[in-house]
Amino acid sequence: MILDPTKSDLLKEPFGTLVKDTEVSIELITEKLKKAPKVIAVGDTTTEKLVGFGFVPDISVTDCKEKRVIKTSKFEYPVDKTIHLQNKPGELSEQVVLEVRKLIMANAYDIKIRMLIDGEEDLVALPFLMYSPNDWVICYGQPNEGLVIVRVSEESKKKAVLIFNKVFI
């Protein structure tokens, strides 16, 4: 599925709480993530922030890049399983969407999973927003602004589906 560049602005409005980079703290992260059945982090910087505060996400989605530039240092953190997937920039592959759904349906797992994307991971937050159960927390970066934290609800799922149906051709 290819992103319609004329509608990409629809993805710029945060789905949840936008926390400015200067306001992200361990106290705030602890408050936002407490009692979440599962935590999903999309993006290298987002994952690094969470891990740096002592929270290894249940599922992390990374591509070893920051703002489309390959990172010079490799960031390692403890995971039980790594899934390698391909996803071209400006697209959302069916393989990625199927893997997201598979991981969500198997939500009884008690292991840490890293989805390592060859290409670009930015749009992978959308299927997680669409399919995750209520109360799961999804964190992703808002470029040049901060961290978005979404506690999944019926409302956030409907919004994600609506935007998904508008932005892909």
Give the CA distances from residue 147 to residues 37, 39, 100, 111, in Å, rounded to whole numbers and listed in that order. Answer: 20, 14, 21, 24
Residue with tokens 């409302």: 155
Give the CA distances from residue 53 to residues 24, 27, 65, 126, 161, in Å, rounded to whole numbers and listed in that order. Answer: 10, 9, 20, 25, 31
Q: What percent of the chain has pLDDT over 70?
A: 94
The range of the structural domain enclosing residue 53 comes to 5-167
pLDDT in tens, 24-57: 999 999 999 989 999 999 999 999 999 999 999 9
Its sign, for the CA torsion 15, 21, 23, 29, is positive
2 secondary structure, DSSP code: B
Q: How many domains does the chain have?
A: 1
pLDDT in tens, 105-128: 886 568 999 999 999 999 999 999
What pLDDT is stored for residue 110 in this prediction? Answer: 83
